[in-house]
Amino acid sequence: MTTSSIPATSTADAPVIGVLALQGDVREHLAALTAAGATPRQVRRPEELAEVAALVIPGGESTTMSKLAIIFGLLEPLRERVRAGMPVYGTCAGMIMLADKILDGRDDQETIGGIDMIVRRNAFGRQNESFEAEVEIQGIEDGPVEGVFIRAPWVESVGGGAEVLATFDGHTVAVRQGNVLATSFHPELTGDHRVHRLFVEMVRGA
Ligand SMILES: NC(=O)CC[C@H](N)C(=O)O
């Protein structure tokens, strides 16, 4: 897709989607969202969160992200927006932030929650720090995506409301519950924007 084919100003066509910019691979998500037809914005403060229609939570380090979300006064506003139905997509550390419950977290680690699932931090990381693998994702056409796993979590179990969209090696690596989407891996690092496009479609439909 060329940039000239992307509507730049119409929020109906190019919804304003924030990227939580406390820590992590923010720039890559901003670029992927633009390529997927959205208008991205960095979100660091509650006022900025109030201005976006949806949010991406990047990969990075969930313990640091949790700490910074508290320091920046964002944790409660984030929880409220997610409860109110804002579409959110989390990759890797972002998936951890969207889990109602985590395993192998730090004692003081908080999550935003939103998906009724238990996520184990660094689950793949212990076996293999970083690897790539093809992942078939439900709802994504034209073949598997290249999953980039970096000290990645997996989903240990999901509750009734959550839908498993992808597994790898017997472990759940993509989940959706209503407007909340999460992947263990990093589509923002691949140049394949199908997952971001799926999210932009979720936002348009929300
Ligand atoms: N690539 C990543 O986002 C790694 C996540 C990291 N292991 C964490 O626990 O937050």
pLDDT tens profile 21-71: 999 999 999 999 999 999 999 999 999 999 999 999 999 999 999 999 999
Q: State which of 20, 57, 61 you would mutate to test the pocket of ligand 1, scoring each by most atoms of that ligand within 8 A of its C-beta.
A: 61
Q: Pick the atom of ligand 1 nearest to 94's CA.
A: 3
Instruction: List active site positions.
Output: 92, 186, 188
Give φ, ψ of 107 to 5 degrees: -55, -35
Q: Pick the more confident residue, 74 or 206.
A: 74
What is the 151 CA–ligand 1 centroid distance (Å)?
6
Is ligand 1 within 6 A of the CB of residue 61? yes
Entry field: residues in the chain: 206
- For 56, other C-beta atoms within 10 Å of its C-beta total 28
Distance between CA atoms of residues 2 and 88, nearest Å: 26
Give φ, ψ of 42 to 5 degrees: -80, 140
pLDDT digits 0-9 by tens, 106-146: 999 999 999 999 999 999 986 678 999 999 999 999 999 99
Query: Could you report how far apart the first and last alpha carbons of the chain are, in Å?
Result: 24
Q: Pick the atom of ligand 1 nearest to 122's CA.
A: 7
Q: Which of 8-22, 142-156, 188-202 has the lowest average pLDDT?
A: 8-22
- For 2, other C-beta atoms within 10 Å of its C-beta total 5
- pLDDT at residue 125, as a whole number: 81
Measure CA 95 to chain center.
6
- Do the beta carbons of residue 109 and residue 146 sit within 8 Å? no
What is the 154 CA–ligand 1 centroid distance (Å)?
11
Q: Pick the atom of ligand 1 nearest to 62's CA.
A: 10
What is the 61 CA–ligand 1 centroid distance (Å)?
5
Is ligand 1 within 6 A of the CB of residue 150? yes
User: What are the C-alpha distances in Å from 130 to residues 17, 37, 136?
Assistant: 28, 29, 19
* Mean pLDDT (whole number) for 160-164: 96
Contacts of 201 (CB under 8 A, 6+ apart): none
143: left (phi over 0), alpha (psi -120 to 50) or beta: left
C-alpha closest to that of 153 among 196, 126, 120: 120
Can you give the pTM of this predicted structure?
0.93
Cα radius of gyration rounded to whole Å, the chain: 16
ipTM computed for the complex = 0.96
